[in-house]
Chains A and B, each alone.
Chain A
Amino acid sequence: MTLEDNLKAKILEWDEEGLIEICKSAIEKNEASATDILKMIGNVMEYVGELYEKEEYFVPELIVASNTVKAAIDQVLDPAIKEMGVEKETKGKVVLGTVEGDVHSIGKDLVGSFLFANGYEVFNLGVEVPAAKFIEKAEEVGAKVIGLSSLLTMSMDFQRKVINELEQKGLRDKYIVIIGGAPTSEDWAGEIGADGWADDALETVSLLNNLLS
């Protein structure tokens, strides 16, 4: 079995510890660099994505696969890449959160998992995130995208607040701002000056792929 076959086997068995072991061992034995291993994992996640689109895998399989992979990235690959002194290759950094006054997180977390599974680096700030915090994190990590989720009609206005604050700080053009959530719509995105809107997690991936290409 090749290294990639091994990685794939561990991921599809949801074996976090096993995956971490293989990554550590491969780096220690100089079988592959951390950046190469990350690319191989990316290939496996693309395969997982295909299984999801074919409806052989469903949302929980996608999330568990992402969590398995995330553990290995956080614990082994990211530190190793840092040591190499190189910049980690990703499709883009995305700061994600549910806006102020809203505790709903499932949709946003799904978006996070799907984006991660599709090669984006996601910073999930959780729920009830004030506008300032979105901007602070985006500045800190050098994000390209800010994603705002709202499930309550009453919290939708806080999506507008984030965009207004970016404008006030002269940072609006620096970021792509996308929004989502059940009561929101493409019209609402237009009304508040967002760059895009998506109906669900899968659509968000397409949206970002388009906006960033």
Chain B
Amino acid sequence: MKLNKLKVLSNEEIQTIHSATMELMSTVGVKMDAKDVQDLFEKHGATVDPDTDFVKIPEYLVKEQLKNVPNSFKLHGPDGSYSFEVNTESTKFASLPCPVSIYDKTQKKGIRKSTLADTIKQIRIVNALEHISSCQYDLWAHDVPFMELHCHALRAWARHSYKPYGMGCFGKIASQDMMNIASIIVGSEEDLIKRPRLIGFFSPTSPLHLPQIMTNGLAIFAKYKQPTIIAPEALAGSSAPVTLAGLLTQINAEILGGIILAQLYNSGAPVFYASVSHVTDMRSGNSALGSIETGLITAGVAQMANLYNIPSRALGGATDSKVFDLQNGIERLQTLMLAAQAGINYITCAGTYEATLSEALELLVIDDELVGMVQRALEGVEVNEDTIGLDIIKKVATSTQKGTTFLGEKHTLKHMRKELYFPTLLDRNRRATWRKKGSKDIMMRARERVDEILETQKGPGLSSEVENKLADYIKMVSERSIDFYTQAEGISASSVTIDNIEIKKEDLK
């Protein structure tokens, strides 16, 4: 049997949380600042309090809109040669966003601000990893003007990767840029919509708030049917109740609020029921991403997603450690294993440490190994006549030739590659051999693999026609001012609220 699903909620408890969420959504509501969002919800039967911006969402609206949410969708790489399906049954793994620093042992402090060159390296490494299906904007490029980040990131992705990509739904202008750029890369808007390439990241602000800059972006991602991750990062004890059941209820309202909004923007828009919620460390007040409770919350999230029949996403491979020590190993594996065993369908887990503030390229390949191990664990134990192998047991045990083992048997040859996980980075040699090979630890072996990938990995590249179009687009973006953005997004006091979300070409200049 395959590994059974980790459960933290009984069926009755799932219903209790769902009912409590419905009460919360209909009596308290979810705060949504954007006028277009309020109008949209009101049109569909919600009540808006204009003084507090809280939108009270009745249960029937939730039920009605959940019917339209797809339970599976496909994601494609830039040239379309690579794709995978996300659904409510399978588990896929991706890297984890979004560190702002990178491990660099040439630096005195061992760490430095990341750059676009690092972002590119990360894309290239993910591309070469066996178990990691996708990445997103995972490493902050401090050397790029932040108003152009999304453009440079997407261009780097298209040049170097065959796998899909992802970015934050940070505003309608930037999100529309992403769609425009992706359309240039893949050849047409039609193809982008038909074969989605981009995963959107939508972040509610806990408790119970969907900020305008995010809903602006969600409108675009929903319009273009790019699967969007609706993921609160609530911290038990500070931005959500310290009680995990309370946190699960609160984030359920935040997630469902975002999912319903996506459907109202474009019925059938693909979404992930998601969370990167965890707990507060009560000693420091800091977030505790590597905590054991992260996995428990994640397991609850998986069960709630199952109730609504929506693919789920959560994090794994998370650690609060600032070094590559036992704490790092302990936390990254247990958060990953709990998420996988809970049946999360898309686990963002590779590459980070220091509570996702920092990245190490070595960790990308190590996490690829961990995912391999975890995937083996999920397979459980296969039981049938052949795997029980009474004949082979009898043969070896009763063999008159002393010292017969199973090592030389055809049965072993036949089954070993499926039964055993063959690690590439974990060392199981005896000490003398290990010494002879250089007494390396896993970080050193990972570094060798990183160097090898960077030496050999090649992406699809882009035609000169596409390169020129992208260069022109980026030039246009670079000429915008910050005021242009704040006004267009309606997020500054002096801005004008833009009623419709249609972006005309003139709006982009």
User: Once the chains are docked, how many angstroms separate the CA of A103 from the CA of B237?
Assistant: 18
| Contact in complex: B284, A200 (CB < 8 Å) | yes
SS class, residues of chain B in contact with chain A: loop
| Contact in complex: A58, B211 (CB < 8 Å) | no
User: With A103-B211, A183-B357 in contact, is A153–B285 under 8 Å at CB?
Assistant: no
| Contact in complex: A201, B283 (CB < 8 Å) | no
Q: Which of B140, B211, B238 contacts A106 (CB 8 A)?
A: B238
User: With A154-B146, A182-B357, A183-B100 in contact, is A106–B282 under 8 Å at CB?
Assistant: no
| Contact in complex: B100, A110 (CB < 8 Å) | no
User: With A103-B211, A106-B238, A182-B357 in contact, is A59–B140 under 8 Å at CB?
Assistant: no
Within 8 A of A (CB), among B194-248: 205, 209, 211, 235, 237-239
Q: How far is the CB of A115 from chain B (nearest CB, A)?
A: 13
Residue of B nearest to A62 (CB): B285
Per-position 1/0 for A89-121, Cβ under 8 A of B? 000000000000101001100100000000000
| Contact in complex: A110, B205 (CB < 8 Å) | no
- B280 sits at the interface (CB 8 A): yes
| Contact in complex: B100, A58 (CB < 8 Å) | no
Per-position 1/0 for B258-300, Cβ under 8 A of A? 0000000000000000000000101111100000000000000
- Residues of chain A lying within 8 A (CB to CB) of residue B237: 60
- Residues of chain A lying within 8 A (CB to CB) of residue B282: 58-60
User: Once the chains are docked, how many angstroms separate the CA of A153 from the CA of B100?
Assistant: 8
- A55 sits at the interface (CB 8 A): yes
- Residues of chain B lying within 8 A (CB to CB) of residue A55: 283
Per-position 1/0 for A193-211, Cβ under 8 A of B? 0000000111000000000
User: Once the chains are docked, how many angstroms separate the CA of A183 from the CA of B235?
Assistant: 18
Q: How far is the CB of A188 from chain B (nearest CB, A)?
A: 9
- Residues of chain B lying within 8 A (CB to CB) of residue A58: 282-283
For B283, B284, B285, which residue has the most chain A Cβ atoms within 10 angstroms? B285
Residue of A nearest to B357 (CB): A182
User: Once the chains are docked, how many angstroms separate the CA of A55 from the CA of B283?
Assistant: 7
User: Once the chains are docked, how many angstroms separate the CA of A55 from the CA of B280?
Assistant: 15
Residue of B nearest to A187 (CB): B113
User: With A60-B237, A154-B146, A183-B100 in contact, is A106–B285 under 8 Å at CB?
Assistant: yes
- Residues of chain A lying within 8 A (CB to CB) of residue B284: 59, 200-202
- Residues of chain B lying within 8 A (CB to CB) of residue A182: 357
The number of residue pairs between A and B whose CB atoms lie closer than 8 Å in the complex comes to: 34
User: With A58-B282, A200-B285 in contact, is A106–B235 under 8 Å at CB?
Assistant: yes
User: With A153-B100, A154-B146, A182-B357 in contact, is A107–B285 under 8 Å at CB?
Assistant: yes
Within 8 A of B (CB), among A45-64: 55, 58-60
- Residues of chain A lying within 8 A (CB to CB) of residue B146: 153-154
| Contact in complex: A201, B205 (CB < 8 Å) | no
Q: How far is the CB of A18 from chain B (nearest CB, A)?
A: 25
Q: How far is the CB of B167 from chain A (nearest CB, A)?
A: 13
Q: Which of A101, A103, A110, A154 contacts B285 (CB 8 A)?
A: A110
Residue of A nearest to B142 (CB): A153
- Residues of chain B lying within 8 A (CB to CB) of residue A107: 285
Within 8 A of A (CB), among B387-430: none
- Residues of chain B lying within 8 A (CB to CB) of residue A110: 285
| Contact in complex: A103, B283 (CB < 8 Å) | no
Within 8 A of B (CB), among A161-213: 182-183, 200-202
Q: Which of A106, A153, A183 contacts B239 (CB 8 A)?
A: A106
| Contact in complex: B285, A59 (CB < 8 Å) | yes
Q: How far is the CB of B136 from chain A (nearest CB, A)?
A: 15
- Residues of chain B lying within 8 A (CB to CB) of residue A153: 100, 140, 146
| Contact in complex: B357, A200 (CB < 8 Å) | no
Residue of B nearest to A110 (CB): B285
Q: How far is the CB of B209 from chain A (nearest CB, A)?
A: 8
User: Once the chains are docked, how many angstroms separate the CA of A182 from the CA of B238?
Assistant: 16
- Residues of chain A lying within 8 A (CB to CB) of residue B100: 153, 183
Q: How far is the CB of B247 from chain A (nearest CB, A)?
A: 15
Within 8 A of B (CB), among A117-174: 153-154
User: Once the chains are docked, how many angstroms separate the CA of A154 from the CA of B171?
Assistant: 13
| Contact in complex: B205, A59 (CB < 8 Å) | no
Q: How far is the CB of B141 from chain A (nearest CB, A)?
A: 10
Q: How far is the CB of A97 from chain B (nearest CB, A)?
A: 16
| Contact in complex: B211, A59 (CB < 8 Å) | no
- Residues of chain B lying within 8 A (CB to CB) of residue A183: 100, 357
Q: How far is the CB of B482 from chain A (nearest CB, A)?
A: 9
| Contact in complex: B205, A103 (CB < 8 Å) | yes
User: Once the chains are docked, how many angstroms separate the CA of A182 from the CA of B235?
Assistant: 15
| Contact in complex: B286, A200 (CB < 8 Å) | yes
User: Once the chains are docked, how many angstroms separate the CA of A154 from the CA of B283?
Assistant: 28
| Contact in complex: B357, A201 (CB < 8 Å) | no
- Residues of chain B lying within 8 A (CB to CB) of residue A101: 491
Q: How far is the CB of B297 from chain A (nearest CB, A)?
A: 18
Q: How far is the CB of A17 from chain B (nearest CB, A)?
A: 24
Residue of A nearest to B211 (CB): A103
Q: How far is the CB of A126 from chain B (nearest CB, A)?
A: 14
User: Once the chains are docked, how many angstroms separate the CA of A60 from the CA of B281?
Assistant: 10
5 A-B pairs besides A59-B285, A182-B357, A183-B100 with CB distance below 8 A are A55-B283, A101-B491, A106-B235, A106-B280, A153-B100
8 residue pairs of the A-B complex, CB under 8 angstroms, read A58-B282, A59-B282, A59-B285, A106-B235, A106-B238, A106-B280, A110-B285, A182-B357
Q: 10 smallest A-B Cβ distances: which pairs?
A: A58-B282, A110-B285, A59-B285, A106-B238, A59-B282, A183-B100, A153-B100, A103-B205, A200-B284, A153-B140
A interface residues (Cβ-Cβ under 8 A, vs B): 55, 58-60, 101, 103, 106-107, 110, 153-154, 182-183, 200-202
B interface residues (Cβ-Cβ under 8 A, vs A): 100, 140, 146, 205, 209, 211, 235, 237-239, 280, 282-286, 357, 491
